[in-house]
A and B are shown apart, each in its own frame.
Chain A
């Protein structure tokens, strides 16, 4: 996937995060919502694949290397310790 597509995906997800009405539109008709957002066929396929990991990987293309390293260290930062005696 090219960097342009990564930018488009990240932008779309950020718009969804800001506007709950867009998320509602997606829930009700994903194909139409993605077409309205101008996503490419490969971006639509990526979303429809249902892989959060793949989606994260794609949107990292919009981010700088520093932030990518910071975020990729652990996809799901655990916040509870294990302390063995």
Chain B
């Protein structure tokens, strides 16, 4: 049998055992016009079922223009109800058409796999059921943060964590590395809310003051969703953070307060020894 025939046979077998539905989960970025990748754009436009969860009406307009059948997942939030229940509902909503043999694309603002519970869950759920599923990366608020604030996380290292988890687990930050805490406007709030609740921020500040001086300058940051706006970056002493003009989507950036530890000469010596051993073996 010729190679082409054998490949065709093999493809036929694969197609016979692989269900026809598929899922692509994409990120729209923060500024959907500039951040939506060509691959994500095509996946969304060509999907039988296109679902989205984005944060501004311009993004909605663009996505509905790309795929006129597109529909929002926002209605699954229920005021005061558990957000986790809403996310499980989103996963079900995404997977149902996949199981019906449809080509599905779900778009989330930012990166669909960074602080997006239903993103990975939907992809893994589809794969567990035997469907083909992919995640295409997007530009997250963290990517914008590093660009806008001229910070390279390689300089000191970086701890990124959900503000509530950081506080609840009493994580001990290393003051020599960059600390980034997300979702500071809903600390400790498990439900879907219609407005920020800053009460938890006072508790977070008190906790951070165990590791940082009250006058240590921190940055409350929010990426710009529109190309006509600058990002918001409010520099304020830690103790004054709760009095600052804050917005719902802000991320807290705590720059390093101390110099990093000096490189350990014994580690360098060990690395050189191992390298020499590897070279002598070859």
Contacts and interface: CB of A to CB of B under 8 A. Distances in A.
Nearest to A20: B34
Interface in B210-240: 222, 224-230, 232
B248 A16 contact: no
Interface stretch (B3-11, B92-100, B160-168, B173-181): B160-168
A17 B77 contact: no
A52 B224 contact: yes
B117 A23 contact: no
B62 A52 contact: no
Given A71-B56, A71-B57, A74-B193, A13 B248 contact: no
Interface residues of A, number: 38
B229 A47 contact: yes
Nearest to A12: B228
Contact of B74 (A56, A59, A73): A73
B115 interface: yes
A79 B53 contact: yes
Contact of B115 (A67, A73, A80, A84): A80
A59 B58 contact: yes
10 nearest CB pairs, A to B: A17-B33, A76-B249, A23-B227, A81-B84, A79-B116, A80-B115, A82-B190, A82-B164, A13-B58, A17-B62
B90 to A, nearest CB: 8
20 contacts: A17-B61, A23-B34, A26-B227, A50-B229, A51-B229, A52-B224, A55-B226, A59-B57, A63-B57, A67-B57, A70-B72, A74-B192, A77-B54, A77-B74, A78-B83, A80-B115, A81-B84, A82-B162, A84-B168, A84-B190
Interface string B103-145: 0000011000001111100000000000000000000000000
Contacts of B32: 17
B204 interface: no
A65 B57 CA distance: 12
A14 interface: yes
A14 B61 contact: yes
A75 to B, nearest CB: 5
A42 B186 CA distance: 33
A53 interface: yes
Given A56-B56, A67-B60, A71-B60, A16 B118 contact: no
B83 A16 contact: no
Given A70-B72, A78-B83, 18 more contacts: A13-B58, A13-B226, A14-B62, A17-B59, A18-B33, A23-B227, A50-B230, A55-B226, A60-B57, A63-B57, A73-B77, A73-B194, A76-B249, A77-B77, A80-B116, A82-B83, A82-B186, A82-B190
A20 B139 CA distance: 16
B263 interface: no
Contacts of A84: 168, 190
Given A10-B58, A14-B58, A60-B57, A52 B248 contact: no
Interface string B78-89: 010011100100
A64 to B, nearest CB: 11
Contacts of A52: 222, 224-226, 229, 232, 247
